RNA sequence: GGGUGUUUAGCUCAGUUGGGAGAGCGACGGCCCUACAAGCCGUAGGUCGCAGGUUCAAGCCCUGCAACACCCACCA
């Protein structure tokens, strides 16, 4: 074996082998366990969030596969309709073309080309992370089966009256030229203005203050062109006499009725509200209540249409705003302008300011779907981990509004509706069915609805459509409901909620029993990773490494804003002066697991990866140590005897496995990783390997003991590697095969080996206590040596004082080990009544451990150290005595707590006495 | 406006039923000792956000406050 762990050398060949041998497919005749992957965009690239999420899923899948389940990790990708539309449009733009220049069919062909050209990238990246997805069952949300599923769902929902077409206000993206759903609106506070505009009153009406106009306030003066009313609060004394009066709309001249509506807040602005039903959601409601006209003044691209005065026609909305304001000012109708901070709705894809716009769209009537979906979580058929996300889910679901599912784009699932010459819509699984259902003659021409469906409509069918629905496939019967969904809180509404609704509707069962919600990956400073900030880390750059020039080039490529490039380059050069090393997939995966604390975002820090890469190296070298110490014959059937260290490490391994299984059961990937790390490094390596050395190197006097140590070294290493495999598959596979070969055991792969169980090993309290005693003495001696400046290779004499029978027995059992680990030359007991020589002292329970100074030591320094120890012990003792002096404590606290405190008191008193005695001795020198 | 989360060592974070504050990284000192310098040994560092309360006992339970982050709703 090489002296260093080199992930580059082992990872790719292993993955290729696993895949080629079909080991990712679920075992037959085993209890099923299934996770459906949240489908990455087919043309996307792997980012940190993916890496994180897939690591957690792969850990679960590998764990359950090893635990004997028929584990299926269902693979698939998403067609990402809007994202792809934008990419292909951008590609066309470089050729100087617009989509309409080439037509729908050619455009759709381009989209498919795009899928085919880029579709493989994400799969390769998943492989590089070690993800054990079942490639044989790979699906795509636009594949034939999915198209059938989508049409089936659409038709059935339509037939049940849960899909309908209706003209109403929607969130309109004027840049993309499509409606979007409520969820795709991102509102951010931005600095704007509040314009106060005078609307002249008609027929001699006056305000209470005597003015012949009312003043309305608006943040969007251009919408004035579509005003059809003015509203005041019904109880507003200032305006009550104007209710029913009329005002004249400036610039347009239209007559506006003044209506009373409780929606108006008398405290805001002047208490007068202009009503633009076609361009504001609240105004629309007000308009409906009062029968106001709905006058649309925008084209689809938010330029002013022909229903506005000629002067503004064709102007972009922002140009129109300027013109309107200027004209109002000219006319003396602009009373004032004040700065005003308010929320601006923007499209999550285009970042364009959205407009409420009146259009015909397809909708899902959501309430009948939401009710059973709420119930499924309420009654525990689905549970969220962490639990608090159930409240997030409930809050949204209980107030959810109808879902706008049609998009005015070309990329995506086309809506299965056809129009006859009279414009009536006929829904069907295909045109023939639509015609048949409508009883239309073959010669009646039909045209299909031009719109496509919201991408999330097909995603909502993910768990069951991937398994074959609407066919009743064996996979569907076996693996649905899936066991757990692993996803981020950012798509609970987009995806999780909709999957639950659709699955309950069409499968009559839940899509998954558990929803594990993980945090989002941020950079080391807690800032969200994003392309524009240039602070993102590509997981594969951490796995395979990347040079600084390449990293800089990658981060500044395709930046929306050129001026950011300079800044990003500077920070990149500062943060990664040498680029990024190839840490390997195992180290990265271990990091993701270790950082996966529930309900928290992950602040991703490369230094953690480095630490866990070092951990990989530690495992590597530990295995090397074990293999090189197997001796000539390796393990044999000759009698073996387990020594205390062997019994201890087995007992500790059992406790590690208890922690691990508990952690996996509760989705505590962080505790899982920590338990493995702690055991492997600080127990197996730091102590156990060291404890075996005296035994192995003194084989002649104790061959059975050496055999016991060898056997234990191998067995515990085997357990450790199996326990760690779900987190770090590559290195564990490599080392496990070495180990298995040396042990002469069977088994081709650690990923097919059984996951170790606590019951495989025995608890051994006696060995635990003995080795803990030994460790305490060794650490005590080491501390004294270090503080006294004794060179590592110099052995020291050791004196033991006090202590009981147990201490003597333990010394007898571990003396050889103690000598080696503490660098001790001689060990002598001081008889009772004998004065101790001047010495450095350390107390372990009743036992006092002394390293005589013999004049070659800095007495002053030791005195200072002892004083500190005396002070600390004195403080501890005082605290314990204070507690015990408290009558309430003694009478009310549980007996065992009180007894423990009394024990502590005795220990501390003894320790203090021993320390003081030694301190006095030193001071007498 | 409503809601959720966070606040523990210089940094990033654990702390599972309330019973003597932990890890990793970083810092400091000493070591190339026959698995590992990607290592070994040791040391320092915290009034657990603030103020109350419950309790014999609070990092943990309750109340209030503050700061930060996020979600939902949007008074134009």
Strand B close residues, chain A 362-391, CB < 7 angstroms: 388, 391
**C-alpha–C-alpha distance, residues A757 and A752, integer Å:** 15
Residue A329 DSSP SS3: helix
Given a cut of 80, whether residue A877 has pLDDT beyond it is yes
Measure, in angstroms, how far nucleotide B6 C1' is from residue A381 CA: 30
For residues A176 and A347, the answer to whether their CB atoms sit within 8 Å is yes
pLDDT for the residue A633: 59
Residue–nucleotide distance: A557 CA to B70 C1' (Å):
30
- Taking the CA of residue A842 and the C1' sugar atom of nucleotide B41, their distance in angstroms comes to 17
Q: pLDDT value at position A875?
A: 82
Cα separation, A430 vs A417, in Å, equals 8
* Integer CA distances (angstroms), A808 to A246, A389, A805, A904, in order: 105, 56, 5, 21
Whole-number pLDDT of residue A1: 77
Average pLDDT for chain A: 92
Helix and strand tally (H, E) in chain A? 30, 28
Q: Strands, DSSP E only, in A467-586? A: 482-488, 512-518, 521-522
Tokens, residue A571: 């920070």
The share of chain A scoring above pLDDT 70, in percent, equals 99
Note whether A418 and A426 are within 8 A (CB).
Answer: yes
Q: Which nucleotide is nearest to A908 (CA to C1')?
A: B20
Q: How far is the CA of A521 from the C1' of B33 (A)?
A: 42
Judged against a pLDDT cut of 90, whether residue A243 lies above it is answered with yes
Q: Which residue is nearest to nucleotide B13 (CA to C1')?
A: A595
Centroid of chain to Cα A274: 45
Rg (CA), chain A: 37
Six-digit token string for A181: 């759903």
Nucleotide nearest to A901 (CA to C1'): B20
pLDDT in tens, A268-297: 888 999 999 999 999 999 999 999 999 999
A526 strand B contact, CB < 7 Å: yes
Q: In the 341-360 stretch of chain A, whose C-beta falls under 7 Å of nucleic acid strand B?
A: 342-343
- Which tokens go with A875? 């403080």
Output phi, psi for A864, to 5 deg: -60, -45
The pLDDT of A358-384, averaged and rounded, is 95
Query: A300 pLDDT exceeds 60?
Result: yes
- Residue A655: CB atoms within 10 A of its CB come to 16
Nucleotide showing the shortest C1' distance to residue A823 CA? B33
Distance A608 CA to B15 C1' (A): 20
Count Cα neighbours of A325 within 13 Å in the Cβ-side half-sphere: 17
pLDDT at A615: 95
**Quick one: pLDDT band at residue A527, thresholds 50, 70, 90?**
confident
Task: Look at residue A131 and tell me whether its pLDDT is greater than 70.
Answer: yes
State the pLDDT confidence band at A78, using cuts at 50, 70 and 90: very high
Neighbours of A573 (CB within 10 A): 13
Strand B close to A843 by CB, under 7 A: no
- Statement: the CB of A783 is under 7 Å from strand B: yes
* Å from the A889 CA to the B51 C1': 26
Any strand B atom closer than 7 Å to A887 CB = no
CB A532 within 8 A of CB A559: yes
A201-235 burial, b for 16+ CB within 10 Å, e for fewer? Answer: beeebebeeeeebbbbbbebbbbbbbbbbbbbbee
Nearest-CA residue to the C1' of B31?
A792
Q: Residue A454: pLDDT above 60?
A: yes
CA A38 – CA A848 distance, rounded (Å):
60
Q: Are strands A417-419 and A334-347 parallel, antiparallel or unpaired?
A: unpaired
How far, in Å, is the CA of A631 from the C1' of nucleotide B4?
60
In tens, the pLDDT along A23-70 reads 999 999 899 999 999 999 988 888 889 999 999 999 999 999 999 999
Q: Could you tell me which residues are beta bridge partners of residue A76?
A: A139
Q: What distance in Å separates the CA atoms of residue A822 and residue A786, rounded to the nearest whole number? A: 11
Q: Which nucleotide is nearest to A188 (CA to C1')?
A: B74
Residue A846: per-residue pLDDT = 85
- Scanning A28-103, the segments in alpha helix (DSSP H) are 48-66, 81-94, 99-102
Q: Contact A668/A678 with Cβ under 8 angstroms? A: no
Measured distance CA(A583)–CA(A611) in Å, rounded: 10
Distance CA A326, CA A328 (A): 5
Range A600-622 average pLDDT: 91
Name residues whose C-beta falls within 8 Å of residue A542's C-beta, 6 or more positions apart in sequence.
A580, A583, A587, A588, A606, A609
Phi and psi torsions of A303, nearest 5°: -95, 160
Vertex A95: Cα angle to A90 and A100 (nearest 5): 70
Q: State residue A583's pLDDT score.
A: 94
Q: Cβ of A655 < 7 Å from strand B?
A: no
Q: What confidence tens digit (pLDDT) does each residue in A88-118 have?
A: 999 999 999 999 999 999 999 999 999 998 8
Is there a contact between A286 and A231 (Cβ–Cβ < 8 Å)?
A: yes
Q: Which positions on strand B lie below 7 Å from a protein C-beta? A: 3-6, 11-16, 19-20, 23-26, 29-31, 33, 35-43, 55-57, 69-76
Residue nearest to nucleotide B35 (CA to C1'): A625
pLDDT score recorded for residue A857: 57
A883, A804 in Cβ contact below 8 A?
no
A517 sits within 7 Å of strand B by its CB: no
The answer on pLDDT for A524 being more than 80 is no
Contact present, A840 and A868 (Cβ < 8 Å): no
* DSSP structural state of residue A756: P
> What's the rounded Cα separation, in Å, for the pair A148 and A235?
57
* Token output for A809: 């027995």
Is the peptide bond between A386 and the residue preceding it cis, with omega within 30 degrees of 0? yes
CA distance A318 to A338: 18
Lowest mean pLDDT among A284-293, A772-781, A830-839: A830-839
Name the percent of chain A lying above pLDDT 90: 72
> CA-CA distance, A306 to A578, in Å (whole number)?
61
**pLDDT value of residue A186:** 92
Please, which pLDDT band fits residue A483 given cuts at 50, 70 and 90?
Answer: very high
pLDDT tens string A704-742: 999 999 999 999 999 999 999 999 999 999 999 999 988
- Give dist(CA A92, CA A107) in Å, integer: 9
Q: What is the mean pLDDT of residues A225-233?
A: 95
- A396 CB and strand B closer than 7 A: yes
Per-residue confidence (pLDDT) for residue A346, from 0 to 100:
94
pLDDT of amino acid A462: 98
Which of residues A217 and A853 earns the better pLDDT score?
A217
- Give the CA-to-C1' distance from A775 to B41 in angstroms: 14
Residue in this structure with the two tokens 């600390």, named with its chain if needed: A872
- Cα angle A671-A676-A677, degrees, rounded to a multiple of 5: 95
Confidence tier at A917 by pLDDT (50, 70, 90): confident
Instruction: Judge if the beta carbon of A265 is closer than 7 A to nucleic acid strand B.
Output: yes
Dump pLDDT digits (tens) for A551-606. Answer: 999 888 877 667 778 888 888 888 888 889 999 999 999 999 999 988 888 888 88
- Does residue A848 register a pLDDT over 80? yes
- Indicate if CB(A605) is under 7 A from strand B: yes
Give yes or no for CB of A617 within 7 Å of strand B.
yes
Burial A829-852 (b: 16+ CB within 10 A, else e): ebeeeeebebbbbbbbbbbbbbbb
A684 touches strand B (CB under 7 A): no
Q: Name the 3-class secondary structure at A727.
A: coil
* ipTM surpasses cut 0.90: yes
């Amino acid at each position: 074996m090489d002296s260093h762990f080199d992930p580059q050398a082992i990872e790719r060949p292993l993955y290729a082998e696993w895949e080629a041998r079909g080991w990712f497919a679920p075992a037959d005749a085993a209890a099923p366990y299934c996770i459906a992957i949240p489908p990455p965009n087919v043309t996307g690239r792997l980012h940190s969030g993916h890496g994180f999420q897939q690591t957690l899923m792969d850990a679960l899948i590998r764990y359950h596969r090893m635990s004997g389940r028929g584990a299926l990790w269902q693979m698939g990708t998403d067609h990402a309709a809007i994202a792809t539309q934008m990419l292909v449009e951008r590609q066309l733009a470089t050729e100087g073309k617009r989509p309409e220049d080439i037509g729908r069919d050619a455009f759709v062909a381009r989209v498919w080309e795009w899928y085919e050209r880029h579709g493989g990238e994400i799969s390769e990246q998943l492989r590089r992370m070690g993800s054990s997805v079942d490639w044989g069952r790979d699906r795509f949300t636009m594949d034939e089966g999915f198209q059938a599923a989508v049409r089936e769902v659409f038709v059935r929902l339509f037939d049940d009256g849960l899909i309908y077409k209706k003209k109403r206000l929607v969130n309109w993206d004027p840049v993309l030229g499509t409606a979007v759903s409520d969820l795709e609106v991102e509102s951010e506070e931005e600095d704007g203005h509040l314009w106060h505009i005078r609307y002249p009153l008609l027929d001699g009406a006056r305000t209470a203050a005597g003015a012949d106009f009312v003043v309305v306030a608006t943040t969007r003066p251009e919408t004035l062109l579509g005003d059809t009313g003015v509203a005041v609060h019904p109880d507003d004394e200032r305006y009550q006499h104007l209710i029913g009066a009329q005002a004249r709309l400036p610039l347009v001249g239209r007559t506006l009725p003044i209506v009373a509506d409780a929606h108006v807040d008398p405290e805001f602005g002047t208490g007068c509200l202009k009503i633009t039903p076609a361009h504001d959601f609240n105004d629309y409601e007000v308009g409906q209540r009062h029968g106001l006209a709905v006058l649309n003044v925008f084209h689809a691209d938010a330029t002013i249409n022909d229903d506005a005065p000629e002067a503004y026609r064709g102007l972009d909305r922002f140009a129109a705003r300027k013109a309107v304001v200027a004209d109002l000012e000219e006319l003396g109708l602009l009373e004032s302008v004040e700065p005003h901070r308010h929320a601006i709705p923007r499209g999550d894809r285009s970042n364009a300011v959205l407009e409420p716009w009146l259009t015909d769209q397809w909708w899902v009537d959501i309430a009948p779907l939401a009710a059973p979906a709420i119930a499924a979580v309420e009654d525990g058929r689905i549970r969220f981990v962490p639990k608090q996300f159930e409240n997030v889910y409930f809050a949204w679901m209980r107030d959810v509004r109808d879902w706008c599912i049609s998009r005015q784009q070309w990329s995506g699932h086309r809506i299965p509706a056809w129009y006859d010459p009279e414009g009536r819509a006929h829904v069907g699984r295909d045109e023939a069915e639509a015609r048949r259902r409508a009883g239309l003659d073959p010669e009646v021409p039909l045209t299909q609805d031009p719109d496509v469906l919201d991408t999330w409509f097909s995603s909502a069918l993910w768990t069951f459509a991937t398994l074959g629905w609407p066919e009743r496939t064996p996979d569907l019967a076996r693996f649905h409901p899936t066991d757990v969904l692993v996803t981020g809180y950012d798509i609970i509404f987009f995806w999780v909620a909709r999957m639950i609704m659709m699955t309950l509707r069409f499968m009559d069962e839940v899509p998954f029993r558990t929803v594990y919600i993980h945090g989002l990956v941020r950079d080391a400073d807690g800032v969200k990773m994003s392309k524009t900030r240039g602070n993102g880390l590509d997981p594969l750059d951490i796995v395979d490494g990347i040079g600084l020039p390449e990293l800089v080039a990658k981060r500044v490529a395709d930046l929306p804003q050129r001026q950011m490039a300079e800044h990003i380059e500077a920070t990149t050069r500062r943060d990664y002066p040498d680029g990024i090393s190839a840490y390997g997939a195992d180290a990265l995966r271990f990091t993701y697991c270790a950082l996966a604390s529930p309900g928290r975002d992950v602040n991703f820090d490369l230094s953690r990866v480095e630490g866990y890469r070092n951990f990989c190296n530690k495992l590597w070298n530990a295995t090397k140590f074990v293999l090189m110490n197997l001796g000539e014959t390796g393990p044999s059937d000759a009698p073996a005897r387990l020594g205390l260290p062997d019994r201890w490490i087995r007992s500790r391994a059992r406790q590690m496995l208890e922690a691990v299984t508990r952690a996996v059961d509760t989705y505590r990937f962080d505790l899982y990783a920590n338990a493995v790390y702690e055991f492997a490094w600080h127990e197996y390596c730091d102590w156990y390997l060291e404890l075996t050395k005296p035994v192995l190197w003194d084989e002649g006097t104790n061959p059975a003991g050496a055999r016991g140590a060898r056997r234990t070294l191998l067995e515990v290493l085997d357990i450790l590697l199996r326990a760690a495999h779900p987190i770090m598959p590559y290195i564990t596979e490599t080392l496990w095969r070495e180990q298995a070969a040396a042990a002469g055991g069977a088994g081709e792969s650690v990923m097919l080996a059984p996951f170790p169980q606590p019951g495989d090993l025995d608890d051994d309290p006696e060995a635990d206590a003995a080795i803990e005693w030994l460790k305490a003495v060794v650490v005590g001696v080491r501390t004294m040596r270090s503080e006294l400046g004794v060179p590592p290779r110099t052995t020291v004499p050791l004196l033991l004082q006090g202590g009981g029978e147990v201490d003597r027995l333990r010394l007898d059992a571990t003396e050889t080990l103690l000598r080696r680990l503490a660098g001790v030359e001689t060990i002598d007991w001081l008889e009772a009544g004998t004065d101790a020589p001047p010495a450095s002292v350390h107390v372990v329970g009743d036992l006092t451990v002394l390293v005589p100074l013999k004049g070659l030591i800095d007495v002053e320094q030791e005195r200072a150290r002892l004083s500190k120890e005396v002070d600390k012990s004195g403080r501890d003792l005082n605290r314990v005595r204070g507690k015990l002096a408290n009558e309430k404590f003694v009478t009310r606290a549980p007996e065992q707590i009180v007894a423990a405190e009394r024990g502590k008191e005795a220990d501390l008193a003894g320790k203090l006495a021993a320390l003081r005695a030694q301190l006095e001795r030193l001071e007498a020198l």
